[in-house]
Amino acid sequence: MKEVQVTEVPSGAQLIDVREPAEFAEVHAAGAVSIPMSEFVGRIAELDQDREIFLICRSGGRSAQVQDYLAHRGIDATNVAGGTQAWVAAGLPTT
């Protein structure tokens, strides 16, 4: 499974936040789209498979599970190491 440091998320890639809505509302990476893990199966069609997909959660565990789910369906995605906690710690833009 692919995993990258937060500073390696390329501009123009999809950044999908799989945390629950209340967590997303508190703080999230700028440009991230919320597709909670609990809703992911029903919302998988929202992914643009023509663009790189990066997954993020709080610390990397849930996004790794979603990455595995996608891999079993033949969809390539990359997990953001350390999740939103690492994103904030790195001083990257948040909303």
Q: How is the chain split into domains, by residue range?
A: 3-89
User: Using 50, 70 and 90 to split pLDDT, how confident is the model at 7?
Assistant: confident
pLDDT at 14 > cutoff 70: yes
User: Using 50, 70 and 90 to split pLDDT, how confident is the model at 4?
Assistant: low
Q: pTM to 2 decimals? A: 0.92
Q: Tell the residue number behind the tokens 């692919």, with chain if given.
A: 2
**Distance between CA atoms of 71 and 32, rounded to whole angstroms?**
21
Q: What is the arrangement of strands in the sheet containing 53-56, beginning at the earlier edge strand?
A: 3-4, 78-80, 53-56, 14-17, 33-34
pLDDT at 68: 96
pLDDT at 47: 96
Catalytic pick among 56, 57, 64, 77? 57
What's the mean pLDDT in 42-63? 95
Per the annotation, the verdict on 38 as an active-site residue is no
Average pLDDT in the chain:
93
Q: What is the CATH number of domain 3-89?
A: 3.40.250.10
**Distance between CA atoms of 62 and 37, rounded to whole angstroms?**
7
What's the mean pLDDT in 52-75? 96
pLDDT at 11 > cutoff 70: yes
